[in-house]
Structure formats: C-alpha cells, structure tokens
Amino acid sequence: MLRGSDRIEMSANKLDTTVESDEVQTKPPIEGRRSLLQIKVDILRAVENGYGKPTQIMYRANLSWNVLQAQLRSFLESGMLSVEEYGSRRRYLITPKGTEMVESYQKVVKEILR
C-alpha cells in the first residue's frame, strides 16, 4: 500500500534493457498513438492482403468503425481504393495508386531506419 510520501515515477521514454551474457541490448521506447499516415497505411495493407470486407479491415487495422468509415470514404475519393458492391454488401479493392502509396511508404521507412 502506498503512503502519501511514497512516489512511483514511470516514464514512457525510458529504454528497456535486457542482459544476455555480457551484452546489453536496448529496445526503442514504446511509442504512443499511431499517426494518421500509419492508420492509412494499415488500412491499405489490410486490403492489399485480401481483407476487403469492412469488418475485416476494421479488425486488421485495429480501428473503430467511425474512423474506418471516414478513411474508406477518403480512399475512394482519392482513388486508392475501389469498391465492389454485391447485394447489400461491399468489398474494397486496392488500386494501383494505393499499392504505389504503400510501396512508397515502405521505401521511406526503410531509408529512415537504416
């Protein structure tokens, strides 16, 4: 039980270290929320990997329904995704423009993390 004078300090910016034999390895700090760019790429990757139904995309990209719907509308308007409707259901497909965006993002990340 903590008393009023006891303090616990936690920092999200501290590096975790693990000791293996005589070597010390550091892990990068855990980052906070994803950026909008990361969210968009996660959606495109989900669709690119064959998960085209909205609920599948939502779970794969780890998003709320409202955020997903707004992003899907944005992708349709920009031409990165297309929609295939069958009955009352929808399936999203990635377009060449969307595939190019994912590839460009991966190249940038690869260069930055060198």
Q: Is 40 buried (19+), middle (13-18) or exposed (0-12) by CB count in 10 A?
A: buried
* pLDDT at 29 > cutoff 90: no
Rounded to the nearest 10 degrees, the angle between the axes of helix 36-48 and helix 65-78 is: 80
Name the strand (E) or helix (H) holding 45.
helix 36-48
Q: How many CB atoms lie within 10 A of CB 98?
A: 23
- Mean pLDDT (whole number) for 12-28: 43
Q: What is the pLDDT of residue 11?
A: 41
Domain boundaries, the chain: 36-112
- Segment 47-84, tens digit of pLDDT: 999 999 999 999 999 999 999 999 999 999 999 999 99
CATH class of 36-112: mainly alpha
* pLDDT at 20 > cutoff 60: no
How far apart are the C-alpha atoms of 58 and 88, rounded to whole Å? 18
What pTM, to 2 d.p., does this model score?
0.71
